[in-house]
């Protein structure tokens, strides 16, 4: 048995930066793919909503695909490890493991104690929405990583491991291209529905506060 570990820069290793608009994605089962997730934060200041919006636009992570700064982002890398077995002149995939390495970048508000209660409420709803949006990007990636694993393990045997590796690369590239499209669709839909969604979140939170279920 031979094991091939794909080095950085190979087509099987893909790094992606996904922008945040905001969220509302129902998490789906993510399969067997491995996930390594970390968080990092950028600090913002201000005591009014206008100031916070300006800080997000000025300090948020810059995404190459849009050329703009965003209130949050997720960097993701896909790494595929394949093992091959050779028997009677044929090569087959013995196992396929795809690992998603995700770095979620979120805002951190430094002056939370100073602004009005209303500003804090709005920020709480917005920051939760940003975080859920980014977590949804990770779920999408993990689902596609699991799809890659299943597709690679089903590849038919080949006369050579080199030919099988070429086929595995084609399959992986195809699924990653589909993944990129799903992520772009998710951001597009989120952007369209953002205003309606954030107002719904705020209205729900205010109703809970008025009913005494949340502290003011």
Predicted local distance difference test score (pLDDT) of residue 214: 52
* Chain centre distance of CA 27: 12
The predicted pLDDT at position 195 comes to: 58
Q: Please tell me the predicted confidence (pLDDT) of residue 149.
A: 95
Per-residue pLDDT, 26: 28
Cβ contacts of 154 within 8 Å, gap of 6 or more: none
Domain spans, the chain: 2-210
- The per-residue pLDDT for 107 is 93
So what's the pLDDT on residue 136?
Answer: 92
* pTM, two decimal places: 0.76
Mean pLDDT, each 10-residue run in order, the chain (216 residues): 25 38 31 84 88 86 77 90 89 93 92 74 85 92 95 94 93 94 88 67 66 57
Residue among 131, 33, 116, 37 at smallest CA distance from 81: 33
């Amino acid at each position: 048995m031979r094991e091939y570990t794909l080095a950085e820069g190979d087509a099987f290793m893909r790094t992606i930066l996904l922008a945040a608009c905001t969220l509302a994605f129902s998490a789906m089962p993510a399969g067997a793919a491995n996930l390594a997730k970390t968080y990092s934060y950028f600090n913002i200041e201000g005591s009014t909503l206008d100031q916070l919006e300006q800080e997000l636009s000025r300090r948020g992570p810059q995404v190459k695909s849009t050329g703009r700064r965003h209130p949050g982002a997720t960097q993701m890398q896909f790494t595929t490890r394949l093992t091959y077995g050779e028997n009677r002149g044929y090569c087959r995939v013995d196992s396929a493991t795809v690992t998603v390495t995700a770095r979620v970048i979120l805002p951190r508000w430094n002056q939370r104690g100073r602004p009005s209660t209303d500003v804090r409420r709005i920020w709480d709803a917005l920051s939760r929405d940003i975080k859920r949006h980014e977590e949804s990007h990770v779920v999408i990636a993990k689902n596609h990583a699991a799809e890659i694993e299943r597709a690679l393990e089903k590849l038919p045997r080949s006369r050579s491991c080199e030919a099988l590796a070429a086929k595995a690369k084609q399959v992986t590239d195809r699924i990653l291209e589909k993944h990129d499209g799903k992520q772009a669709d998710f951001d597009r839909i989120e952007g369209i529905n953002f205003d309606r969604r954030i107002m719904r979140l705020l209205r729900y939170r205010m109703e809970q506060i008025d009913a005494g279920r949340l502290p003011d």
